[in-house]
């Protein structure tokens, strides 16, 4: 199933070359495979989300576990040397993330964070992303917003 036009594909490929991270690419490939339409790195939105799905009003951030301090994740432990420096730096990242998420939510976006460690199992990731959008199509949904897995 290939729903990208030639122009979209060439945009996609140029982004690939400009240093995108593997976890983000995995998310993108799955979204593409599921036939979802998305845009990348919209600078005009708070935090410039990695992917947005305009039709569904869904914004996805693909976060590195270390840099964004994935709670409870072993990849997110603070280095022993210069601990104070790292603690401050990472805390600022988390605060910036939280500010971006609440600003997006105020604008009516449903924000989903996908962590780097959650992109390793492709099948699970695909199921998760599929669920996010399938659920949207049902008429009445109880708790609509869920972040992460």
Which residues contact Zn ion (rule: CB under 5 A)?
65, 70, 73, 115, 117
Q: How far is the CB of 11 from Zn ion (least distance, A)?
A: 29
> Which CB, 62 or 104, lies closer to Zn ion?
62
| Chain-centroid distance, C-alpha 107 | 17
Retrieve residue 28's tokens: 């993108």
Maximum separation of any 2 CA atoms in the chain, in Å: 52
- Residue 68: is it exposed, middle or buried by C-beta count within 10 angstroms (0-12/13-18/19+)? buried
Q: How far is the CB of 55 from Zn ion (least distance, A)?
A: 29
| Chain-centroid distance, C-alpha 119 | 10
How many residues are there in the chain? 149
Phi and psi at residue 62, to the nearest 5°: -105, 110
Q: How far is the CB of 27 from Zn ion (least distance, A)?
A: 14
Distance in angstroms (rounded) separating the CA atoms of residues 136 and 61 = 18
> Which CB, 67 or 133, lies closer to Zn ion?
67
Pair 30, 129: CB distance under 8 Å: yes
> Which CB, 26 or 70, lies closer to Zn ion?
70
> Which CB, 73 or 103, lies closer to Zn ion?
73
Q: How far is the CB of 117 from Zn ion (least distance, A)?
A: 3
Q: How far is the CB of 54 from Zn ion (least distance, A)?
A: 28
> Which CB, 111 or 118, lies closer to Zn ion?
118
């Amino acid at each position: 199933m290939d729903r990208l036009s030639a122009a979209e594909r060439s945009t996609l490929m140029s982004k690939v070359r400009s240093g995108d991270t593997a976890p983000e690419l995995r998310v993108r490939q799955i979204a593409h495979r599921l036939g979802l339409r998305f845009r990348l790195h919209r600078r005009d939105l708070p935090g410039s989300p990695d992917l947005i799905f305009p039709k569904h009003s869904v914004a996805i951030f693909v976060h590195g576990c270390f840099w964004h301090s994935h709670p409870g994740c072993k990849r997110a432990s603070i280095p022993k040397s210069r601990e104070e420096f790292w603690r401050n730096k990472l805390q600022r990242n988390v605060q910036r993330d939280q500010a971006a998420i609440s600003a997006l939510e105020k604008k009516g976006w449903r924000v989903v964070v996908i962590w780097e460690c959650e992109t390793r199992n492709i099948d699970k990731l695909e199921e998760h992303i599929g669920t996010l959008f399938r659920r949207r199509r049902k008429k009445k949904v109880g708790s609509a917003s869920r972040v992460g897995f």
